[in-house]
Amino acid sequence: MSRQTARAGDPRKVNGELFTLTYGALVAQLLRDYEDDEEVNKQLEKMGYNIGVRLIEDFLARSNTSRCNDFRETSDIISRLGFKMYLGITPVISNWSPAGDEFSLLIENNPLSDFVELPEGHTALNYSNILCGVLKGALEMVQMDVDVWFVQDQLKGDNITEIRLKFIKRLDDAVPAGED
């Protein structure tokens, strides 16, 4: 019993490092298997997409949020609730496009890339590309088609990690064939 209470205070910290190391091992193995940065980026995005379509259910169940009225609300929920719930960070929202359909998430200390240094010759690799996939998959499940990509990456020498999201269109559920 006493051991459980000792862990209850700090279980997240231990899991955080394990998570970082696990993700690191995953990316390193992908790099060894595919040997091509672009291919690895694509695979990471695919994996992220699969995570995203499932994660959104968990997120909606836990956060109890209602449907967002516009893209700005969406961005606020993603940053304040989504990232906080799963990664423990709150990215800053900035660089809104004039039409209001594009924005950037600025991440200062990405837990996925703690301790990571990109090896020589792999400058095309977007190490945290899984995040792009997760965002795309999750938003697709709430009927938003978005494009997500990396603009800046601290691992490549920039000051901050910047992910850009662009709203493409609303996805309407197609009427099933056979129904009027």
Partner 1 sequence: MAVCVAVIAKENYPLFIKTIPTENELKFYYTVHTSLDVVEEKVSVVGKNNNELRELYLGLLYPTEDYKVYGYVTNTKVKFVIVVESSNTSLRDNEIRSMFRKLHNSYVDMLCNPFYTPGEPITSKTFENMVLSMM
Q: Which residues bind partner 1 (CB under 8 A)?
A: 17, 20-21, 23-25, 27-28, 31, 114-119
Minimum CB–partner distance for residue 140 and partner 1 (Å): 29
Residue 74 CB coordination number (10 Å) = 20
Closer residue to partner 1 (CB): 117 or 172: 117
Spatial separation of the C-alpha atoms in residues 70 and 140, rounded to whole Å:
15
Got the DSSP string for 46-106?
Answer: HHHHHHHHHHHHHHHHHH-----SSHHHHHHHIIIIIIHHHHS--PEEE---TTSSEEEEE
Minimum CB–partner distance for residue 155 and partner 1 (Å): 10
Minimum CB–partner distance for residue 24 and partner 1 (Å): 3
- Percentage helix, strand, coil for the chain under 3-state DSSP, each rounded to 5: 50, 15, 30
37-63 and 11-34 helices, crossing angle to 10°: 150
Minimum CB–partner distance for residue 42 and partner 1 (Å): 19
Closer residue to partner 1 (CB): 112 or 144: 112
Closer residue to partner 1 (CB): 5 or 159: 159
* Main-chain dihedrals φ then ψ at residue 90, nearest 5 degrees: -120, 100
Closer residue to partner 1 (CB): 81 or 116: 116
Minimum CB–partner distance for residue 45 and partner 1 (Å): 19
Closer residue to partner 1 (CB): 44 or 56: 44
